[in-house]
Amino acid sequence: MNTVHTLVDNRPSIPCDTVRDPQSWEALLSAPRTKTMRVTQHSVIYYEGDPADRIYQVVDGAVMLFKLLPDGRRQVVGLLGPGDLFGLPAGEDQDSAAETLVPSVLKAIERRDVEGSAVFQAHINGCLLRQIAGLRDHSVLLGRKSAFERVASFLMYLVPGRGLGEACAGRPDGDDDEAVVRITMTRQEIADYLGLTIETVSRIISDMKRKGFLAADRHDRLRIVDVCALCRKSGSH
Amino acid sequence: MNTVHTLVDNRPSIPCDTVRDPQSWEALLSAPRTKTMRVTQHSVIYYEGDPADRIYQVVDGAVMLFKLLPDGRRQVVGLLGPGDLFGLPAGEDQDSAAETLVPSVLKAIERRDVEGSAVFQAHINGCLLRQIAGLRDHSVLLGRKSAFERVASFLMYLVPGRGLGEACAGRPDGDDDEAVVRITMTRQEIADYLGLTIETVSRIISDMKRKGFLAADRHDRLRIVDVCALCRKSGSH
DNA sequence: CGCCCACTTGAGGAGTATCAAGCTTCGTGG
DNA sequence: CCACGAAGCTTGATACTCCTCAAGTGGGCG
């Protein structure tokens, strides 16, 4: 917890060609010590307990954070997409494991490069606040929602441009409020995210099809017939 | 939705050289615009949706953060003690409500006083990271633990100096590993924190007494007969 | 002393997990 | 190109945990 306060004098200009101390987050991403990683689906980036000497940003793809109980029960504690940061725990070691859900491109930034810089701290701060908001919403889901509501909430989360909050607000609830979502997670991953079993997730999705909320395009692709209708079943509206 | 806060400005302490730009977190706490609040038990500090123009630090006491679903279901998404910060959402408005669990002393800091300062950002960062770690642990509890394990985990959390992580690690598991914890939360608050009902919490505690894990001191006070034994039942060890 | 509120206890039922088959889909190799 | 196997998904039967509804019980305060 011994933060080194490098008080960077931030003058307005910043022509900043190949600075030793990059002045913006974008510059940091292309700094010499920052590495770009291209990783395949289901690659483990780190395990819980690994030393946290780098932080990561998702450039493209998707990453899942999870924790395990000693007996093997797993809980997914975060889903990350482009722009999100991960790998920055409170202590010295990672407090969760990180694994890619799809082939991804990541930036690995040396932790010491971000500590002490006001610009980076502010950027990181924003990311952390968004993660906290997401975790709080997810606590409500895990603690208070039924299985049906959990799956409905999850599907809403997958609808582009309607992540959780703005879900139902978007368009008038007239006809043709359709959306096609790609499911890039396995049933097991979804179950571990929603605090359910694989069988329950499967049953709920079948049930949603039977009730006309969903139509099957393919195995890894679902058509939500009426986004608003499903959203109203998510418990949040 | 607007509770009246008793904003008591207590200036007795700290000569307070009236800095315009305080350079340390401690200095900020005694800056002119920072107010000290003394609030009674069960005071609402803010509701979800209120504008977030101040952030708060717990000086003494305890605060609970919670969210409500439209139908009234409640989930407690955070328990805070001395030193913890709250009231800093990702957006403009509060994403959860805040209420005191016991009579408390809080510092209310103008949000604009902390934005843009490297020193404060770094301090806030550490607080946010600790909150994220707590939320992740709590996700595991809500998503994957049984009712018994949840209550056991909660009791471990109350044991002084054994918050979650270091729980069982402390002392040798010899005899006399006793602890007395004060329960300052109502059964309803505990239930809403653990994602259970009031009746289930009550039943589990009775069950723990019957099985010899707990002994009743008083209504709001429990004696944990063998901390290590209970800890082993918490699912985390 | 008695009321009120928070807590406890009980009976019954809903919802989800568990266990056990089937069924698809996809990749591999004949 | 198709047969085969494996892995992931779906469906069914059953069990069990926890919730719901309802009736006590106890302690604190007027």
At residue A175, the pLDDT reads: 58
At residue A117, the pLDDT reads: 81
Residue A230 has pLDDT above 90, yes or no: yes
Q: Which residues of B touch A136 (CB under 8 A)?
A: 65, 67, 77-78, 95-96, 135
> CA–CA separation, A237 vs B53, rounded Å?
26
Edge-to-edge strand list for the sheet holding A221-224: A179-182, A221-224, A214-218
Give me the residues paired with residue A54 across strands. A110
Give strand D nucleotides closer than 7 A to any protein Cβ: 8-13, 17-22, 27-28
Is any atom of nucleic acid chain C found less than 7 Å from the CB of residue B200? no
A interface test, pick of B88, B136, B138, B149 with most A CB neighbours within 10 Å: B136
Q: What is the pLDDT of residues B154-176, one digit of tens each?
A: 999 999 876 544 545 555 555 56
Nearest alpha carbon to residue A8 among A121, A126, A116: A116
Q: Which residue has the higher pLDDT, B162 or A182?
A: A182
Residue the block writes with tokens 């990453």: A63
Q: What is the pLDDT of residues A146-175, one digit of tens each?
A: 999 999 999 999 998 765 445 455 555 555
User: Where residue A93 falls among pLDDT bands split at 50, 70, 90?
Assistant: very high
Mean pLDDT, chain A, whole residue set: 87
At residue B168, the pLDDT reads: 57
Those residues whose C-beta lies under 8 Å from the C-beta of residue B165, and which sit 6 or more positions away, are none
Neighbours of B29 (CB within 10 A): 16
A window 158-187: Cβ near strand D (< 7 A): 186-187
Determine the distance between A235 (CA) and C27 (C1') in angstroms.
41
**Distance from CA of residue A141 to its chain's centroid?**
16
- A154 with A184: CB under 8 angstroms? no
At residue B3, the pLDDT reads: 28
Exposure string for B130-157, b = 16+ CB within 10 A, e = fewer? bbbbbbbbbbbbbbbbebbbbbbbbbbb
At residue B4, the pLDDT reads: 30
Q: Which residues of A touch B136 (CB under 8 A)?
A: 65, 67, 77-78, 95-96, 135
| Rounded average pLDDT over A214-218 | 85
Residue A15 has pLDDT above 90, yes or no: no
At residue B20, the pLDDT reads: 56
Q: What is the pLDDT of residues B54-101, one digit of tens each?
A: 999 999 999 999 999 999 999 999 999 999 999 999 999 999 999 999
Q: Which residues of B touch A133 (CB under 8 A)?
A: 89-91, 95
